[in-house]
Amino acid sequence: MSVRKIVEYGTPSLREPSKEVHKVSSKIKTLIKDMLDTMYVNNGVGLAAPQVGENLRIFVIDVSTNDEPLNPMVFINPKIIKKSGLMKGDEGCLSFPQAYTEVWRYKKVMVKALDRNGRSFVLEADGDLLARAIQHEYDHLDGILFVDHATNRFAADEVLAKNNLPPVEVDKMIDIPEGESEDGSASSEEGKE
């Protein structure tokens, strides 16, 4: 078992876009194993390669609960090919120890990626922790962090300050997509918050 150090918020490398993996080599397989070990030791549900200092398009997820067997999923060179609906929910991140804030996410996502053996697969997740985790980890590969999706920047700043972390980078915040509402239907002017 090899547990790696997790890169914390405020480190510039977390904002860098990651590079594609060209070959699922033994080095990549070792990195994946280390990422899973690191995620499990830290009680996480997901971890992206940039969070352990590797600028590669890889993330791992396991949304199994205490009474379920482990179900590690590996995503290499993922692409989100469909997304719809919006939902709010609290999120945290291993790079933001103890900091949780409410963020916007799509309810339904479809992702295409390679598994740990380099085989292509497509996975759909709908309104659950898996959908949220896929988007969260996918964002890491593009240098986007969960606080960039905060529903309330000031509340997020308060949480970050309590945990001795830098404030939200306002210029990195992502607007809610126009025309979307929480239930996934087109929104009207009255429905906007």
Active site residues: 137
Whether the Cβ atoms of residue 148 and residue 173 lie closer than 8 Å to each other: yes
Residues 6 or more apart whose CB falls under 8 angstroms from that of 31 comprise 49, 52, 54, 56, 58
How far apart are the C-alpha atoms of 191 and 181, rounded to whole Å?
8
Question: How many Cβ atoms from other residues are within 10 Å of residue 48's Cβ?
Answer: 30
In the numeric block, which tokens belong to residue 44? 């996480």
| Phi-psi category of residue 127: left, alpha or beta, with phi > 0 → left and psi -120 to 50 → alpha | left
**Phi then psi dihedrals of residue 117, to 5 deg:** -105, 5
Contact 31, 54 (CB under 8 A): yes
